[in-house]
Amino acid sequence: MQLLRKILFPVSLVYALVVYLRNYFYDKGIFSSKRFETPTICIGNLSAGGTGKTPMVELLVGLLKDNFKVAVLSRGYRRKSKGFVLADDDATVETLGDEPFQIFSKFPDINLAVDADRRNGIEILEKRIQPDVILLDDAYQHRKVTCEFSILLTSFGNLYVDDWYLPTGNLRDSKKEARRAEVIVVTKCPSDLSVDARNTIMTKLKPEPRQKVLFSYLDYDDTIKAVDDSISLEELKTKEVTLVTGIANPQPLLDYLKSKGLRFEHLKFKDHHDFSDSELAVLREKQCILTTEKDFVRLKDKVDNLYFIPVKHRFFDDGESLLRGRLLEFMK
């Protein structure tokens, strides 16, 4: 795979040129970008692959929902519906997509919608819902909408400054576009990352004076959950466990489970994987299945003995308070 990526380097140069021209046309006003009356907060990244966007959206919802009428707008990747869909009691993974459905399941009191056309989605939300703030999930490259506040995520194991354009690397946008972010969050850090290591990363990122750089790690719960049950992670040591992952980068989860002394079989699938009948038949034969929350919402009505491990971002030092302060200042 790495050899193929190197062979495709000329293609990455063409991709880089297209990205440069696209951003140039937006910067010069040749391509139009629309600003809306409702405050918008964009959460996204510059690279393909998992940086923890969904847990970050959930964290922002938790920080804002008690004081503001919050709406979340997502593309709804790989959903089976079309156009604008506003989540309601009849919402499913098929109508919303796995990650939006996960967010709505956790926060049913907020307004969540999916629409590949972000302009159209915002316009409908403003007319129907009139929210105080709209969170745009995975929209950093979506420059048809001008966001007043952007949060850029970059994974500790693959910083955007060390990356290259697709398909040789994972960059889907120019590194220079990091300048549009108000906050840069280095996610998936080791939980014991030293101050010196953080300072080294800061030197590499070279943030602008107005930008705040925060560091976070994934905090996995010691209690795993099913639809109507929960057990401690320790109890899995007496079971034959199969870990099922359909996410971009399962390595942090693997490392965590191994650090807990858990032995397991790992079945790895591609991100947003649609499980076939034959794959489901194999999973139904397993004694105990542990999976991610995103995979759980797609498997819970199809497989028994299924548990997921909750995860959320934890910030170093007072990072969450600093982020909350930036958000509240923006909402004034």
275 and 140, same structural domain?
no
> Which are the contacts of 285, defined by CB distance < 8 A and separation ≥ 6?
none
Q: Print the domain residue range for 196.
A: 2-68+132-219+315-331
Do 80 and 298 meet the contact criterion of CB atoms below 8 Å apart?
A: no
Q: List the Cα angle 160/166/170 in 5-degree steps.
A: 35
235 and 166, same structural domain?
no
Write out the binding residues.
Answer: 47-54
* H or E element in which residue 3 lies: helix 2-7
263 and 320, same structural domain?
no
> Whole-angstrom Cα distance, residue 85 to residue 103?
15
245 and 287, same structural domain?
yes
SS3 (DSSP) at 125: helix
Mean pLDDT by 10 residues, the chain (332 residues): 86 97 96 96 92 96 97 94 96 96 95 97 98 97 95 96 96 97 97 96 97 97 92 93 93 93 95 93 96 94 94 96 96 90
| Residue at 319 is within a domain | yes
pLDDT of residue 98: 94
> Whole-angstrom Cα distance, residue 131 to residue 122?
10
* H or E element in which residue 85 lies: strand 85-86
SS3 (DSSP) at 327: helix
| Residue at 28 is within a domain | yes
Q: What is the pTM of this model?
A: 0.94
| Residue at 324 is within a domain | yes
| Residue at 80 is within a domain | no
137 and 62, same structural domain?
yes
CATH of the domain at 258: 3.40.190
146 and 38, same structural domain?
yes
| Residue at 15 is within a domain | yes
Domain count within the chain: 2
Write out the binding residues for ATP.
Answer: 47-54
283 and 160, same structural domain?
no
> Whole-angstrom Cα distance, residue 61 to residue 185?
17
